[in-house]
Structure 1
C-alpha cells in the first residue's frame, strides 16, 4: 500500500520562466519561488456584493495603516481610548435606535388612539410586527450545534480559564462546536453570558500550542473590547442590515412593483449611506481589535504558535475540499452490519484523516499561500485585516514565550471530552445515501 509520503514525494523540474529548480507535488500547485511563476493560477475570490467589496477595500486600507504603525513601533498593538470617530459612531447608532423607537411609539398610537376607526389599529399592528424584527435583542446560542458547559468538559474550560487569565479576562460560560474552519466569540441571553464557538475544521488541524493561541485570540476580544460588538453598535448595524434587506427593489413584473421601487429608492440609499458611514467610523477600531487579539494569542500560546496559526487560516479551502470529499465518498446507508461498521469507521476517522491530510502539506505550499494572500489580500472575512499583515505584525513584535502550555496529558483529556461532539459533527459532514 502506498503511503502519503510515497504518493506526495516531490519531483523536480525547471521553471519555464527563469529556469530555477521547481519542486513538483502531485497534490499541490507547482510554482517557482524565484520568480513567482504560477504562484496564483486561480481566479481571485469574487466579492459578495457592493457592501462586502467596500468593506474589504476599507479593511485592507486600515489594516495596512495599522500594520505600518505597529511595525514602526517595533512592539505589539496597543489599546487606545475612544476617538472622535467612535463617539460619532455611537451617536449615529443611537439615531438609528431612536428611529426604531419612534416607529414603535407610532405603532402604539395607531393601535390605541385609532381604535375607534378599526382600520388604523391594523396598520399599527403591521408596523409593530415590522419594528419588532428591527429592534436589537440578546444573542442566542447557535442552533443545532453541540454546546458544552463546564460540567461537560472541565479540562477544556480549565484551559480556557488559564488562557483568559493570560490575556487579562475571564473564561466563557459555554463552548459551541461546528464544522467550520473558523472560531468566534459572542454573548447570549439577557445576562450577556459568554460563548465561544470552535470550528472543528480549524481546531482539528492545529497543534496543541496553536489551539492555545487560537483561544488567546478569541478571548482577547473580550479583554480588549470591540466597538462593533457592543450592544448599541451591533444592534444598529443589524437594524440597518434588515432595513436594507426589506428595501431591496422588487423585479419589475407589474406597475405596482415600479411604484414600490420608486417609493423605497431614497430610503434604501439613505440606509445604505448610514451603513457605509458606520463602517467608515468603526472599521479602523475593529481592525485594531483584531491586532490586539493577535497579541493576546502570542502572549498565551507563544509568538511561534500565533504565527503558524495565521498559516493555518490560509488552508481553509483545502479543509473544505477534504470534508466535501468525505461527504461524497461516504458509505451507503444500506449494507447490513458490514455497512454499519464502515459508516462508524468513517465517522471515527473523519477528523483524524483531516488532520493527517493537512499535516502533510509541505512548507512550500504554505509559502505559496502566503504569497497569494499578500496578492489577494486574504482575510477571514470582509471586516478582518489581511492575514499576511497580521502574520507580519506578529513576527515583527518580538518573541513571546508561552504563558499557557497544553501538554500531552491535557491534550488527551480535552480530546476525550470533545469526542461525543466530534462524532456528532462527523455525522453531519458524512451524508449517507438513501436506501
Structure 2
C-alpha cells in the first residue's frame, strides 16, 4: 500500500517536472544558477557546518588559551571542521587542451556558439559509452567516451555533444555545485560516524564497538540526522537533475535536429542491452587499439532485432521515479517530440567531420592500446 502511494507521488512529481521543463523551454527560463530554494537552503546549511566547527574551535582557543580543557575541545572542533570540509573539484586526469585537439575544439566552439554556451577549455577522452559536461576550478570540461563516439553516427554525435554543452549553457554544473559539496560533507560525516566500526577477525562480519549507552544514543541520533539530510538532498537533486536533462535534450535538438536526438536516445538503450555481447570480446593477436575499440562499439548494432525491441519496450514502460538522475527514455523522447518546430533552430552543418575523426582516432588508438595491455596483465 505504502509502495503504491510512493509510486503515485513519484509519478505526480515526475510529470510536474516534465511539464515544468516544457514551460521553461517555451518561455526561455533555462539559465537559473541557483537550485530550488529548499535544496539550496539545506545544502547551504550542511556546507556551513565544517566552518562553524572550525570557528567554534578557533574561538575556544582564543578566549581561554592556554586552558587545557579549551585546548582539547578547541583542537577537536578545529580537526572536525578540517575533516568535514568539502574539497574543491580537481581537473580530471588526462584532460587535454586546444593544442592537442584543434579540430574537435572547433566543433565544440561551433556548438557553443549555437547554444550561447561558454567555450570548453578542456576535453577528457576515455574508454566509456558515455559523455559528460563538468566544471572544475572555473574550467568548462567535456568528456567524450571513445566507445560512445564509435557507436554513434555523425548526427547522433552532434546530438550528444549538443546535450552536454546544453548543461553548460543552462549553468547546470554551477547549479549542482552547492548540493554536491553538501553531499561531500555528509559523506565525511558518515565516515566519521563509522570510525567505531570494525570487521571481526573470526567471523568477517562488520561490528560496532559500543562507547556506552549515552554515546551510542547520541551517535544513533546524529546518524539519523545525517542519513535524513542525505536522503532529502539526493531526492531534491534528482528532481533538479531530471529537469536539467530535459532542457539539455532540447539543446541537443537545436544542434542536431529532432530525428538525431531521438536516435541518440535509442542508441543509449541499445548500449545497455548489448552489454552481454561485449563480455566475451577479447583482443586479437597484434590488433590495433582503435580496431579493438571499434569491435566493442560495433556490438551495439549487432543486437538481435527482437532483443533490441524488448529493450526499447522495457524503457518505454519505465515509470517516473525520483531515484535516478535521468528521467525515463520514453518521457525524454516525448519531451523532444512535444517541442514545436517554431522554437527550434536549423541543425548545425559541420564541414570538418573527416578531420575530427582522424584527429580523435589517434587518441582512441592510445586508449585502445591501454585496454589491450590491461587484458595482457590479467
Q: TM-score range by the shorter chain?
A: 0.7 to 0.9
Change (3 A) 1:258 1:283: same
Q: Aligned pair 1:213/2:159, yes or no?
A: yes
Contact map agreement 1:378 1:388 (CA 8 A) in 2? no
Pairwise CA distance, 1:353: 1.4
Q: Determine the C-alpha separation between the residues in 1 that align with 2:69 and 2:79.
A: 16
Q: Determine the C-alpha separation between the residues in 2 that align with 1:152 and 1:59.
A: 45
What are the within-5 Å matches in structure 2 for residues 226-265 of structure 1? 226=172, 229-248=175-194, 250=197, 251-252=206-207, 254-256=209-211, 261-265=216-220
Change (3 A) 1:171 1:322: farther
* Structure 1 segments unaligned to the other structure (5+ residues): 1-54, 332-341
Structure 2 match to 1:270: 225
Contact map agreement 1:77 1:288 (CA 8 A) in 2? no
Contact map agreement 1:180 1:200 (CA 8 A) in 2? yes
Aligned to 1:252, the other structure's residue is in SS state strand
Contact map agreement 2:33 2:174 (CA 8 A) in 1? no
Q: Aligned pair 1:63/2:63, yes or no?
A: no
Change (3 A) 1:352 1:85: closer
Aligned pair partner of 2:369 in 402, 423, 427: 427
Aligned to 1:116, the other structure's residue is in SS state coil
Pairwise CA distance, 1:150: 0.7
What are the within-5 Å matches in structure 2 for residues 27-426 of structure 1? 62-67=13-18, 79=29, 86-109=36-59, 116-117=66-67, 121=71, 124-125=74-75, 127-143=77-93, 146-189=94-137, 192-226=138-172, 229-248=175-194, 250=197, 251-252=206-207, 254-256=209-211, 261-318=216-273, 320-326=275-281, 329-330=282-283, 342-343=285-286, 345-361=287-303, 364-377=306-319, 382-398=324-340, 402-407=346-351, 410-426=352-368
Aligned to 2:144, the other structure's residue is in SS state strand
Change (3 A) 1:98 1:358: closer
Aligned to 2:128, the other structure's residue is in SS state coil
Q: Which has the higher helix share?
A: 2
* Structure 2 segments unaligned to the other structure (5+ residues): 1-5, 198-205
Contact map agreement 1:319 1:354 (CA 8 A) in 2? no
Q: Determine the C-alpha separation between the residues in 2 that align with 1:172 and 1:257.
A: 54
Contact map agreement 2:10 2:320 (CA 8 A) in 1? no
Q: Determine the C-alpha separation between the residues in 2 that align with 1:166 and 1:140.
A: 28
**TM-score (ref. length: structure 1):** 0.71
Change (3 A) 1:88 1:257: same
Instruction: Tell me how many residue pairs correspond in the alignment.
Output: 361
My pick for the range that moved more, 289-298 or 130-139, is 130-139
Contact map agreement 2:96 2:122 (CA 8 A) in 1? yes
Contact map agreement 2:210 2:216 (CA 8 A) in 1? no
Pairwise CA distance, 1:116: 3.0
Q: Determine the C-alpha separation between the residues in 1 that align with 2:91 and 2:11.
A: 31
Q: Determine the C-alpha separation between the residues in 1 that align with 2:7 and 2:100.
A: 39
Aligned to 1:171, the other structure's residue is in SS state coil
Q: Determine the C-alpha separation between the residues in 1 that align with 2:345 and 2:363.
A: 32
Q: Determine the C-alpha separation between the residues in 2 that align with 1:395 and 1:294.
A: 11
What root-mean-square deviation, in Å, do the aligned CA atoms of Structure 1 and Structure 2 show? Answer: 3.7
Pairwise CA distance, 1:412: 2.3
